[in-house]
Structure 1
Amino acid sequence: MTFWIIAISIAVLCAVPLALAMRKPRVAGQQADDTREIEMKVYRDQLKEVDRDEARGVLSAEDANRARTEVSRRLLEADKAQTGKTSSNSKAPIWGAAGLGIAVIGGALWLYNDLGAPAYEDLPLSRRIALADESRASRPSQAEIETQRPSSPPIQEPDERLLSLVAQLREALENRPDDLQGHILLARNEAVIGNYKRAYEAQQNVLRIKGPAATADDYADLADMMILAAGGFVSPEAEDALTKALQRDPQNGTAIYYSGLMFAQTGRPDMTFKLWQPLLSSSTAQDPWVRPIRAQIEAVAQAAGIRYTLPPAPTNSLSGPSEEDIAAAADMSPEDRQEMIRGMVEGLSARLANNGGTAEEWSRLISSLAMLGDTDRARDIWNEAQVIFSANPEDLAVVRAGAAQAGLVE
């Protein structure tokens, strides 16, 4: 109601001056009369000027008389024209002024009704936050959203060989419910072939077996699989997994990205921007969340009322260390050099897990992890690689060479 009072008041304030201007009396020929009055004043001044010139001797008496006669004649003509002019006052009829006011106010109301949103209620910030909280609380569950939306497409088109191996692994784990490595391998490969529901069910078994030892990545992977199974929707169950991931590692990129997505889906773009902008600034080109954030963050900022310019994309370089890096490594202590190598290996591992890679890269990752003493992880990746490259014996042989170098096979 407050809006309508203000809107109608503004319309009235615009219409009233126009109506008053129409009702103001107007004198016919007023401009012409003003011109003649000015002419008569000029002629009177000229007569005075003639008298002064005669007194100073500038004009002779004869010339002064001729000038007076001419100026007086013009003065009389101007006076006669003004006296003979009849003036009449005119003003617009009251119904015309009223009609103009009604047209202005009515036109404004019609235009707003046609282009605006008359039934849209006022939404102060507190009300918008309350509505967002209601939307978040009333989201459908994971099971409900899976029946409403199709899941995301698979990471790669599965072949018959891979499907057969995953089915065999699935069957084997029915008799080995506490096989941690088997469930890890099953969760990853169910996700690869697009069986995201089976993937997150296997990942739930991973968390069950690990118990308190479950990491932030374990929970982030669970949320990732649940969101993919829901076609990109962040359900309450997925949010719970994200919360547990961030409790263990507040800097977990996957959990931060999906938490921002959840806020965007529930009407809090301001919270999404607060999460995504720092994450984007601190990420590398290889991080899987960089591309989706860059595609959405400007629209998110606009929805949040924030001025934001997307920075240039980071360089997507997959090359090895530069000459400067090598020179710097030569001056490092053995501990710092080991940490640098571990960082490069972690980068390669993240890229292969999210974007895939060549058999040579998988082989190098397995051997590098073994060199760093992370044999268990190297064995997990070797098991995963056997499923991924099972349909290509040549690539599998390349990866096997890395596993042999790591001491995982004979």
Structure 2
Amino acid sequence: MFFWILVAVLTAAVAAVLLLPLLRAGGRSNVDDANDAEVYRDQLEELKRDEAAGLIGKAEAELARAEIARRLIAATAREGASKDGRQPASARRRNLLAQALIIVVMPAVGLCLYLSAGHPELPAQPLAARLANPGSDVNILIAKAEAHLAENPDDGAGWDILAPIYYRNGRIEDSANAYREAMRVLGPSAARLDGYAEALIALSGGIVTKDAREALQQSQALDAGNPRTRFYLALALEQEGRRDEALAAFEALAKDSPADAPWLPLVNRHVAGLSRGEQAKPPGNPDAGQVAAADEMSPDDRRQMIAGMVESLASRLQEDPDNFEGWMRIIRSYAVLDQRQAAEDALRTALKNFPPQSENGRQLLALAGELAIKVEGSEQ
């Protein structure tokens, strides 16, 4: 009810503003007509003086006098009608028509348009639903969601939806915090624990830290068959130097995966590498001591460590551009460091070695989509 009262008041105010000039139109006409008549009388006197001084011929003077007299008569007639409170019929009709449009048509058209396009009684759309369909204004939507969550920190659904959006936009620390908040309100689930662990791994430059490993183990207890959880736990074993256990874990995951599973090529590469006695390492090939130290580092120290490893990996990729795993890691690491241009440049270079139509190329493009990295021509 309050909404419609407000609409009525605003409509009346707008109509009054528009009607005021029309209601005053008659008064202004009266003044204008009086001024016109006075001007024409002055012109007649001036014409008489010019004729007496010989500045204008008699024939020309007669023609000019007739035209000025005609205009004077018309202006005098309008002035008399205005003094009587009347306007010319055509002017009155236009004035009344304009008033009718403002009073009747304008509110009616506005109301019809609102009833067809607006829904004042529609309840507010849940935050989760708005975030699930962000359209092209992702940054604006994130800002609105953040404002909402600042006032409603116990909106678990909001945190749950916002966390992966943060991750895709390279805001990894914010993503990890959002996952923590979602679990605080809604409790842990396999998806939340995996997302949280993945954010921690990204923050550590690909290292499965102690906190990430604990989250993954908790996720596995909730969903033992989750391939995402199994992959990262196998990767943790590999990084710890437990080659046989890591190989067995990757082989079991490959066996249980469908033939067209998108993660299968990556799993098979780990299997092949471990079978040859190789050990996958994060950017820069940190040793076991560095991996262990990453658990105890502050975010700033860990960030500096990642930057050093990324610089080392970039040098190695210049020497060995066919290192697909290296390109995947360095692109993700650049995103974690918020070096978006460097990530785009790395993706563009990687796609020269691994065309978008190839399996590796498709994985690079999938990673770019996950991290919201766009490179012109990458889809070609």
TM range (shorter): 0.3 to 0.5
> Between Structure 1 and Structure 2, whose CA radius of gyration is higher?
1
TM-score, normalised relative to structure 2: 0.36
